[in-house]
């Protein structure tokens, strides 16, 4: 289509198309002259791409492109008549793509449910109804004599002044859609959205004044007033509340008020499977239309929940990290529960932090955001100190529950059997005698993390990873927890043929076995990824403990995620040492959060709790601060260590990872990448970025591939991000990168 001389060239469409390339693609409008006006940003279109065809989303209409005219192709067709993504959501997605340097096509299309990604139509929200217009009511029946389907539609609508839904229309014979479309074009019928859900809510019904709502205590009321006072503007709050202090009550109250004003609230939670009670509580206390988004949904369920959030019929949208990308018709509030939790960071593919993105989104929407945690991340604590977040505190446990006492058990030189010291064993025995429940935390599942030959020292290692195989006694297998490799246990040492193979170290299974021998009358249950794989298994264990049937519960960090165990009065942490000396600079922070969260499960009822922490390093300074002065002081101490080491949040990091079957190949690519970064730094005086490495990853080999990494560090965000875009463009063209799998992680949470 060559425009006549003098005519202005047609506008172009800049389109997000799923592809590993970090850019959008320009297209000409459709060639079909009957095609409606140029599709607006946010509209899905079908485009020719490579040798095939793909579904993309229009980002913007532009007048200029760097692509030569003759290479531009027209789009095939527009899929939506009106944009499926509003401009707010679209610009938020583009921001996320820019910031985390992930291809915009994958980010934008990834935000759509599978059916929409595949080009299927957006289903009607179920609330769209059709009715006759005044012209349609006056219509002389004779005019439809030769259009029996239209006559049938008219007859149906004439008897229904409130309108009919699509499914009622679908009961008509034949092509009712075509008939309705023709009648709509003539102005005889019209579609309208019936107001449901949020709009129907009278403020006094949902303001939280019903008698069944517990009255907030003074601190809760202050927190509620602060967040509610910020409605309609961006402000970020950190609700720092000890476990059991009633953070959820604060969320519920602010959500109820937000919804009563006709706005939607989005609540992000770490893992729905592990914390079903927050969803249950929202449902029970706010009888509002709710959309719940998590990985366990079927495609159809996800699509319906997504559509309900988008069209505003869901008042509350609850979900795990990816829910942050869901469009909202009338956003009013964002809540991030357990904001410190690592699961808000996606660790592969599009590596984003849902916590950080929710804050950005709240800012773009001009609404408040509330981050809650009993153990705020060091980033959040630092943001409170710097005045970027407003700190709110709940220091009292609700209903007068008592704060547990925390004691460190020095394991050095103590009798110690299967991971349990005599002191801990005595405490367990006492508890069981009183009819109270015990919770024991072990940081590894399986039976034992190491199988070693007592004669020669041979260890069962994974052939494909730099890791030991974990011994699972119940199944009699060795398993690698990094690549899922599995094999049988040898009868004798493969090196020296000695049969004396010993299991070293502690896993949950082994602790359970040992406890069963020691406390044969107690019911002992286990909660870890192995024991809860079966659907409903976790719920079964939780039910048993709530019913008082379980005496001792042994589990991994899954236990730290928000469960309430009111009759647990003793919590034992079998080994706190792993976190104190982890390879990752966040190890101590995670260990502290875990200890406090697990400890918070004790004594939530009227009985005081006791927490015993076993360690070989009772004098570790951070552990001492944590136990003696609490999490806040631990945070200050840990932050000052980070400041001295120029680590986040006092610097910004981006980690380039590369892996290949051959070590040299991964390292050669990283060397090239380092040289390019250095070149950029040398030629741009204002860019203060350090390239550290490349070095092998802490676990150098995983699933048969060698892994290396290059760290970019800067005191400030802007220069780092100024470097990343042009640098990545260069990396995409590097020859050494061709047979290397590589990825960039902005603000990495793990260095492994």
CB 710 to Zn ion: min, Å: 24
Residue 209 or 456 with smaller CB distance to Zn ion: 456
Q: What is the DSSP letter of 147?
A: -
By residue count, the chain amounts to 752
Q: What gap in Å lies between CA 571 and CA 673, rounded to an integer? A: 48
Q: Is 492 helix (H, G, I), strand (E, B) or coil?
A: coil
Q: What gap in Å lies between CA 580 and CA 331, rounded to an integer? A: 41
Q: How many Cβ atoms are within 10 Å of 123's Cβ, its own excluded?
A: 14
Q: Which two tokens stand for residue 506?
A: 């502690």
Write the DSSP assignment of 40-99 as a string of letters: PTT-EEEEEETTEEEEEEEEEEES--SS-GGG--B-SEES-SS-SS-HHHHHHHHHHHHH
Residue 269 or 480 with smaller CB distance to Zn ion: 480
Residue 501 or 691 with smaller CB distance to Zn ion: 501
CB 458 to Zn ion: min, Å: 4
CB 496 to Zn ion: min, Å: 3
Residue 73 or 464 with smaller CB distance to Zn ion: 464
Residue 496 or 675 with smaller CB distance to Zn ion: 496
Residue 501 or 673 with smaller CB distance to Zn ion: 501
CB 377 to Zn ion: min, Å: 30
CB 350 to Zn ion: min, Å: 25
CB 478 to Zn ion: min, Å: 10
Q: What gap in Å lies between CA 315 and CA 292, rounded to an integer? A: 11
Write the DSSP assignment of 526-560 as a string of letters: EESTTTT-STTHHHHHHHHHHTT--SEEEE-GGGG
Q: Is 302 helix (H, G, I), strand (E, B) or coil?
A: helix
**Measuring CA to CA, which residue among 80, 36, 47, 561 is closest to residue 275?**
561
Cis status, amide bond into 639, omega within 30 of 0:
no
CA angle 372, 247, 637 (to 5 degrees): 45
CB 670 to Zn ion: min, Å: 23
Buried b (16+ CB within 10 A) or exposed e, 488-505: ebeeebeeeeeeebebeb
Q: What gap in Å lies between CA 553 and CA 437, rounded to an integer? A: 8
Residue 480 or 639 with smaller CB distance to Zn ion: 480
Residue 499 or 578 with smaller CB distance to Zn ion: 499
Torsion of CA 100, 105, 106, 108, to 10 degrees: 80
Residue 496 or 583 with smaller CB distance to Zn ion: 496
Q: What gap in Å lies between CA 571 and CA 563, rounded to an integer? A: 13
Q: What gap in Å lies between CA 69 and CA 1, rounded to an integer? A: 11
Q: What gap in Å lies between CA 1 and CA 11, rounded to an integer? A: 13
Residue 498 or 716 with smaller CB distance to Zn ion: 498
CB 662 to Zn ion: min, Å: 18
Q: Is 375 helix (H, G, I), strand (E, B) or coil?
A: coil
Residue 103 or 449 with smaller CB distance to Zn ion: 449
Q: Are 171 and 156 in contact (CB under 8 A)?
A: no
Contacts to Zn ion by CB under 5 A? 453, 455-456, 458, 462, 464-465, 480, 482-483, 485, 493, 495-496, 498
CB 508 to Zn ion: min, Å: 20
CB 241 to Zn ion: min, Å: 40
Q: What gap in Å lies between CA 301 and CA 108, rounded to an integer? A: 20
CB 487 to Zn ion: min, Å: 11
CB 703 to Zn ion: min, Å: 6
Residue 40 or 485 with smaller CB distance to Zn ion: 485
Residue 81 or 495 with smaller CB distance to Zn ion: 495
CB 702 to Zn ion: min, Å: 7
Q: What gap in Å lies between CA 587 and CA 226, rounded to an integer? A: 33
Half-sphere exposure of 368 (CA within 13 A, CB side): 22
């Amino acid at each position: 289509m060559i425009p006549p001389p003098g005519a202005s060239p047609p506008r172009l469409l800049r389109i997000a198309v799923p592809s590993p390339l970090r850019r959008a693609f320009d297209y000409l409008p459709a060639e079909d002259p009957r095609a409606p006006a140029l599709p607006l940003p946010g509209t899905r279109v079908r485009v020719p791409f490579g040798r095939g065809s793909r579904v993309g989303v229009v980002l913007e209409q532009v007048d200029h492109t760097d692509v030569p005219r003759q290479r531009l192709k027209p789009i095939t067709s527009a899929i939506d008549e009106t944009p499926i993504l509003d401009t707010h959501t679209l610009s938020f997605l583009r921001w996320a793509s820019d910031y985390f340097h992930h291809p915009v096509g994958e980010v934008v299309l990834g935000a759509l449910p599978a059916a929409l990604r595949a080009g299927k139509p957006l289903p009607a929200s179920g609330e769209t109804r059709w009715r006759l217009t005044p012209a349609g009511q006056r219509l002389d029946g004779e005019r439809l004599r030769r259009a029996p389907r239209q006559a049938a539609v008219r007859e149906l609508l004439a008897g229904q002044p409130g309108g009919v839904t699509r499914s009622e229309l679908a009961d008509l014979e034949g092509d009712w859609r075509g008939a309705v479309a023709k009648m709509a074009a003539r102005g005889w019928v019209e579609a309208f959205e019936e107001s449901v859900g949020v709009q129907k809510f009278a403020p006094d019904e949902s303001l939280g004044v019903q008698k069944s709502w517990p009255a907030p205590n003074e601190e809760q009321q202050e927190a509620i007033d602060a967040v509610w006072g910020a409605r309609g503007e961006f402000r970020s709050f950190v609700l720092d509340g000890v476990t059991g202090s009633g953070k959820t009550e604060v969320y519920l109250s602010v959500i109820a008020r937000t919804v009563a004003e006709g706005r939607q609230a989005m609540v992000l939670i770490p893992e729905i499977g592990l914390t079903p009670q927050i969803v249950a509580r929202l449902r029970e206390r706010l009888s509002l239309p709710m959309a719940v988004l998590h990985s366990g949904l079927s495609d159809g369920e996800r699509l319906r929940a997504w559509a309900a959030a988008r069209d505003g019929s869901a008042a509350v949208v609850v979900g795990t990290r990816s829910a942050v990308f869901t469009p909202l018709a009338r956003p009013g509030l964002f809540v991030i529960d357990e904001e410190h939790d690592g699961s808000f960071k996606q660790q592969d593919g599009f590596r984003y932090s849902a916590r950080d993105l929710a804050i950005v989104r709240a800012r773009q929407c001009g609404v408040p955001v509330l981050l809650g945690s009993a153990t705020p991340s060091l980033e959040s604590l630092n943001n409170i100190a710097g005045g970027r977040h407003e700190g709110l505190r709940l220091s009292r446990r609700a209903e007068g529950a008592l704060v547990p006492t925390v004691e460190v058990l020095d394991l050095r030189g103590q009798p110690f059997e299967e991971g349990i010291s005599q002191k801990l064993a005595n405490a367990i025995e006492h508890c069981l005698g009183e009819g109270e429940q015990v919770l024991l935390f072990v940081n590894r599942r399986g039976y034992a993390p190491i199988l070693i030959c007592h004669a020669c020292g041979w260890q069962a290692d994974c052939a494909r990873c730099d890791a030991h195989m974990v011994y699972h006694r119940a199944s009699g297998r060795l398993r690698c927890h990094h690549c899922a490799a599995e094999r049988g246990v040898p009868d004798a040492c493969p090196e020296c043929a000695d049969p004396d193979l010993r299991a070293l170290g502690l896993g949950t299974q082994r602790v359970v076995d040992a406890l069963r021998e020691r406390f044969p009358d107690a019911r002992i249950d286990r909660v870890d990824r192995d024991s809860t794989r079966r659907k409903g298994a976790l719920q079964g264990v939780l039910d048993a403990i709530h019913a008082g049937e379980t005496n001792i519960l042994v589990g991994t960090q899954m236990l730290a995620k928000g469960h309430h165990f009111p009759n647990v009065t003793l919590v034992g942490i079998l080994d706190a040492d792993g976190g104190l000396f982890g390879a990752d600079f966040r190890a101590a922070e995670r260990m502290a959060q875990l200890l406090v969260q697990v400890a918070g499960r004790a004594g939530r009822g009227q009985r005081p709790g006791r927490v015993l922490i076993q360690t070989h390093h009772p004098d570790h300074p951070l552990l001492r601060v944590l136990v003696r002065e609490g999490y806040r002081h631990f945070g200050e101490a840990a932050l000052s260590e980070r400041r001295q080491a120029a680590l986040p949040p006092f610097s910004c990091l981006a980690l380039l990872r590369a892996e290949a079957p051959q070590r040299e190949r991964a390292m050669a690519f990283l060397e090239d990448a380092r040289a390019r970064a250095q070149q950029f730094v040398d030629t741009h005086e204002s860019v203060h970025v350090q390239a550290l490495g490349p070095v092998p990853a802490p676990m150098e080999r995983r699933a048969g591939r060698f892994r290396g990494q290059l760290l970019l560090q800067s005191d400030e965000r802007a220069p780092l991000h100024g470097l990343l875009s042009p640098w990545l463009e260069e990396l995409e063209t590097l020859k050494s990168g061709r047979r290397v799998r590589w990825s960039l992680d902005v603000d990495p949470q793990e260095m492994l």
